[in-house]
Amino acid sequence: MSQVLSPLPGTFYKKPSPDAAPYKSKGDQVAVGDTIGLVEVMKTFIEVKSDASGTFREYLADDSCPVMAGQPIAGLE
């Protein structure tokens, strides 16, 4: 079991655009380097990538909500 952490503080998004599906859903396979979400920091969008592989379990941060640097945004198993 591992967690994906936000590299920067900002606003977290699960989806690449408001109308799109979330990057990952429960049960999806996750490889190292897969994009899990976006963090908007000072009007710049940064992709949050997984540094572990596994099976996607859940998002731990809410969509469009503030996150801190180092805060877990997703759980893998």
Partner 1 sequence: MAIQRLFIANRGEIAVRIIRAARELGIRTIQAYSEADADMLAVRLADEAVCIGPAPARDSYLDVGKVVAAAKAAGADGVHPGYGFLAESSAFARAVRDAGMTFVGPSAVTIDRMGDKVAARQAAEAAGVPVVPGSKGRVETVDEAVEIADQVGYPIMIKASAGGGGRGIRIAENSEDLRKLAPMAQAEALAAFGDGGFYLERAISSPRHIEVQIVGDGTRAVHFYERECSLQRRRQKVWEEAGATCLDEETRQDLCRSAVSLAEAVNYCGAGTLEYLYDPTRNEFYFIEMNTRIQVEHPVTEMVTGFDLVKEMILVCGGAPLSVTQDQVVKSGHAIEVRLNAEDPFMQFLPFPGKVGKLSLPEGEGIRFDHFMYEGYQIPPFYDSLVGKLIVHGKDRADAIARISAALEDLEIEGLKTTAPLHKALAKDRDVASDAFHTQWLEPWLEAGNLTRAQTGG
Q: Footprint of partner 1 on this chain (CB under 8 A)? A: 8-11, 41-44, 46, 64, 66
Closer to partner 1 by Cβ: residue 46 or 60 = 46
Closer to partner 1 by Cβ: residue 9 or 72 = 9
Buried-exposed string 30-62: b where 16+ CB fall within 10 A, e elsewhere:
beeebebbbbbbeeeeeebebeeebebbebbbe
CB 45 to partner 1: min, Å: 10
Buried-exposed string 6-23: b where 16+ CB fall within 10 A, e elsewhere:
bbeebebbbeeeeeeebb
CB 72 to partner 1: min, Å: 17
CB 68 to partner 1: min, Å: 9
